[in-house]
Structure 1
Amino acid sequence: MYTQKMHPATTFPDINVTLSTGESVSLSSKEEGCDWKMVVVFRGKHCPICTKYLNKLEDFKGRLREINTDLVAISGDSKQQLDKHLDDLSITFPIACGLSQSDMKTLGLYISEPRSDKETDHNFSEPALFVLNENNEIHIAEIANAPFVRPDLEQLVSGLEFIRNPDNNYPIRGTFKE
């Protein structure tokens, strides 16, 4: 087995990354006023689908804040690659670089090799998305092996609004163990 998946209801690992501002932060740390966190893993600057997805994600930032859910995006790109990528992004949420291959493995991500030097100069993770609850447990996980597989943002955020409503008492799903 070459990947080991993170399981729902387990604690998200403490992984430090570098924000576009140069600040080092833990992926699971939350902005003041937020008790949940959405961590969006993207392939990197070389991926036009990632750029489109991140720009669309900006439209949902306000709704996420309304349900006290912080947001960060991360890739394995270098700071220089991230800085160039910012030219193509219209986002205000935190974005980070420097997800190491070891961290990718810890998160159970699929890792790809570049097809050529024109694509990128390092191995990179395929898309993933984690939603962490107030205990930094994985409440939602989506791990893909191709750039074309990503959660529909309207459906995802609507689902989070349902989950975060205390009247619904919605549990973490996918936790059955034999």
Structure 2
Amino acid sequence: MPSMKLDAGSQFPEMDFHLVGGAMVSIGGARERWTLFIVYRGKHCPKCKTYLNKLEAMKGDWEAAGFDILVVSADPETKAKADLEEFGWTFPLAYGLSERQMEALGLYISSPLSEAENDRNFAEPGHFCISPSGVLQITCISNGPAARPDLADLLAGMQFNIANQRPPRGLA
């Protein structure tokens, strides 16, 4: 069970990540654009690959709607780089999500079922839509790979929220 949850309408915590390829990226705080931040389970998860391939196909739609994208896992750089090379994703891919960061994001953390699955604890899926002011608009966390928001529905909902200046929900 997550140790805490991020409250909708709160400031998203500032975090730094290494991107495959060597650059650093920060999340949280004020930005010029909205952010779609996705946490995936890692190289061992075939459902993640299917989901991230759908994200790649919709990347232009998200960007046209005013979103920057960042995807991260707990994997080391070698595994994240292998995924990037195999699937040809063009969105920024970060690695090395720590357990402390997982906890700060309110994510479910799983231990590997075998060495074939993974060699470390990893985060279950998490999705966060963050406003340019750094406020968490939408959060969706799952305790397993089968439950994730449909990316087209999420985008349509966010476009509606932005166009109608809807506040974050679930505050009461």
Q: Please report how far the alpha carbon of residue 27 of structure 1 lies from its aligned counterpart in structure 2 after TM superposition.
A: 2.5
2:138 to 140, 151, 155: 140
Q: Distance in 2 between matches of 1:103 and 1:158?
A: 29
**Paired residue for 2:168?**
172
Q: Distance in 2 between matches of 1:92 and 1:81?
A: 16
Q: Please report how far the alpha carbon of residue 35 of structure 1 lies from its aligned counterpart in structure 2 after TM superposition.
A: 1.5
Q: Distance in 2 between matches of 1:172 and 1:123?
A: 31
**Paired residue for 1:16?**
16
**AA of the residue aligned to 1:56:** K
**Paired residue for 1:78?**
76
1:51 and 1:88 in contact (8 A); partners too: no
Structure 1: which 5+ runs fail to align? none
- Secondary structure at the counterpart of residue 119 of structure 2: coil
Is 1:54 paired with 2:78? no
**AA of the residue aligned to 1:175:** L
- Structure 1 length normalisation: TM-score? 0.91
**Paired residue for 1:151?**
149
Q: Please report how far the alpha carbon of residue 169 of structure 1 lies from its aligned counterpart in structure 2 after TM superposition.
A: 2.6
What do the CA deviations read for 1:90-111 (whole angstroms, capped 9, x no partner)?
Answer: 3211010011011001111000
Q: Please report how far the alpha carbon of residue 142 of structure 1 lies from its aligned counterpart in structure 2 after TM superposition.
A: 0.2
Q: Distance in 2 between matches of 1:27 and 1:136?
A: 9
What do the CA deviations read for 1:80-132 (whole angstroms, capped 9, x no partner)?
Answer: 11112223323211010011011001111000000111111110000000000
Q: Distance in 1 between matches of 2:80 and 2:123?
A: 15
Percent identity, please.
Answer: 39
- Secondary structure at the counterpart of residue 122 of structure 1: coil
**AA of the residue aligned to 1:137:** V
**Paired residue for 1:98?**
96
- Secondary structure at the counterpart of residue 59 of structure 2: helix
After superposition, the Cα gap between the structure-2 partners of 1:137 and 1:122, relative to the gap in structure 1 and judged at 3 Å, is same
Q: Please report how far the alpha carbon of residue 2 of structure 1 lies from its aligned counterpart in structure 2 after TM superposition.
A: 5.4
What do the CA deviations read for 1:47-78 (whole angstroms, capped 9, x no partner)?
Answer: 00001111110122111111211101000000
- Secondary structure at the counterpart of residue 145 of structure 2: coil
After superposition, the Cα gap between the structure-2 partners of 1:46 and 1:29, relative to the gap in structure 1 and judged at 3 Å, is farther
1:30 and 1:37 in contact (8 A); partners too: no
Q: How many residues align?
A: 172
Structure 2: which 5+ runs fail to align? none
After superposition, the Cα gap between the structure-2 partners of 1:54 and 1:30, relative to the gap in structure 1 and judged at 3 Å, is farther
- Secondary structure at the counterpart of residue 40 of structure 1: strand
- Structure 2 length normalisation: TM-score? 0.94
Q: Distance in 2 between matches of 1:30 and 1:85?
A: 30
